[in-house]
Amino acid sequence: MQNRRIFICLTHLAASGFRPTFVSAFSPTLTLTPTSIALNSNLPIQAKIRTRLFSTGTGTGSGSGASNNSIMSPATATTTQSTKPSVRVVSYNILSSELAEPDYHTLCKPEDLDASIRLPRILGKLQSELDRAQENDEKVVFCLQEVSHEWATALHVFFAERGYHFITALYGRKFNGFMGIGTAIPTASFELQTVDIVKLADERKGGWPRAPREPEPGILQRYVVSPIMNPVTAAYQYLRGPQRKQDDAWDYSKYRHNQFIGCKLQSRDCVDSPFWIGNYHMPCAFRTPSVMNIHADLVGNRIQHLAGDAPYILAGDFNAQPGQNPYEFLRTGVVDESDETYPPEKYGMKWESSMKSMRSAYFEMNKEEPEYTNASHNGAMNSESFIGTLDYIFLSQQWNVNNVLALPKRKDLVGVYPNANEPSDHLMIAASLELQ
């Protein structure tokens, strides 16, 4: 037999004095304060209580091992009215199922790299935040990076079972599992008003530098043996064919496929208080940091353009440490032209940015960033491990930071990730926010 769940919509609460405190997932009884009223009671007209009945199956829990008791859905959501919209934002680079290879993560145990073992652990991490949100009566939005095609299916099911809408933008290649990003929105808590999914490189205001048009040389011009060219060299060039010029910062930035997900949300317990939340994974271009400045400008301007005067949040893996660009650029909105990371002029086009400064949730709360959010060792490319902070939750000026998820200290770190406790090479970060 199916359980009948009840979702209660209340209007004119201020006039009636009623406020819902709990909705049972398994009983058609609603408790109201200050006066206790059951659904079979005579409801006061001024409360204007309307009921909608939902039917749900009694199936088993998700692949993560969670039972239906923990499922969050429109039927189980608390509908407490609030004057200030609040949200808890979780950002987590889950390490693509195709990138946790023993040949790369050479200091990790093989079982900690196994996708079939890592996925349940990752879902467990997500569930822990859901449990925390339920205990603290919070509404949590998830911003995930390195979501592989293989894992996207399991994540869709995981979030759907908990009353979430999961939005993905997968743009990678076969070697990384066609990975991309995903944003999960609790539909009982927020009205999803607009979704913006774009390849940022296609959205650059003013376009990209273009070389002056020149006539293409013919085959004889291209490979004819000049009087001063060695015949052997000319033959080699002919066999090799035309060579592509090495990409500079502008070209590298233009041809990156990284996509952005932006969501305009309206809290269901607040009126006329929309805000935007963006999710992005910055190109990993440590050797050409001006590329990351260009993309920081793209993503910053995108979220600020979408939001206008509305509050916004920008979460993700930005592949930059505190004190470096583009982290400092995102926080200040400024890059000095003398800085080595400032993109050079090309074909008469000068790089300029109109991005406004943002605040970092962890820095606002703790007066410093976490000691690290990534601890990895790529034995195929580097002899030393990388331990540093790459993940952030950036904010517009309208938000207060109530708390952030506590992260481990570097002195307590043993080895690198993934391991039995941390299934990704990144740590999950989270912040509870409230509009001022």
Where is pLDDT greater, at 413 or 67?
A: 413
The pLDDT of residue 44 is 35
For residue 47, is pLDDT > 60?
no
The pLDDT of residue 223 is 57
The pLDDT of residue 212 is 85
Percentages (nearest 5) of helix, strand, coil residues in the chain: 25, 25, 50
Instruction: Give pTM, 2 decimals.
Output: 0.76
Split at pLDDT 50, 70, 90, the class of 22 is very low
For residue 120, is pLDDT > 50?
yes
Split at pLDDT 50, 70, 90, the class of 381 is confident
Q: Rounded to 5 degrees, what are φ and ψ at 9?
A: -105, 125
Most confident of 49-53, 202-206, 212-216: 202-206
For residue 77, is pLDDT > 80?
no
The pLDDT of residue 378 is 87
Tokens (6 digits) for 65: 């091992």
The pLDDT of residue 74 is 38
State the CB neighbour count (10 A cutoff) for residue 233.
Answer: 11
The pLDDT of residue 84 is 85
State the CB neighbour count (10 A cutoff) for residue 428.
Answer: 23
Which tens digit of pLDDT belongs to each residue from 292-336?
999 999 999 999 999 999 999 999 999 999 999 999 999 999 999
For residue 106, is pLDDT > 90?
yes
CA distance 135 to 328: 35
The pLDDT of residue 166 is 99
The pLDDT of residue 271 is 82
Lowest mean pLDDT among 52-61, 332-341, 371-380: 52-61
The pLDDT of residue 382 is 76
For residue 8, is pLDDT > 90?
no
The pLDDT of residue 228 is 55
Split at pLDDT 50, 70, 90, the class of 238 is low
**Cα dihedral sign, 338-340-342-344:** positive
Residue ranges, CATH 3.60.10.10, the chain:
86-207+248-435
CA distance 305 to 292: 19
Where is pLDDT greater, at 43 or 277?
A: 277
If we measure between CA atoms, which residue out of 396, 298, 304, 392 comes closest to residue 343? 298
Lowest mean pLDDT among 173-182, 368-377, 379-388: 379-388
The pLDDT of residue 15 is 41
The pLDDT of residue 19 is 42
The pLDDT of residue 239 is 53
Where is pLDDT greater, at 168 or 45?
A: 168
Which tens digit of pLDDT belongs to each residue from 342-364?
999 999 999 999 999 999 999 99
Q: Which CATH class is domain 86-207+248-435?
A: alpha beta
For residue 50, is pLDDT > 90?
no
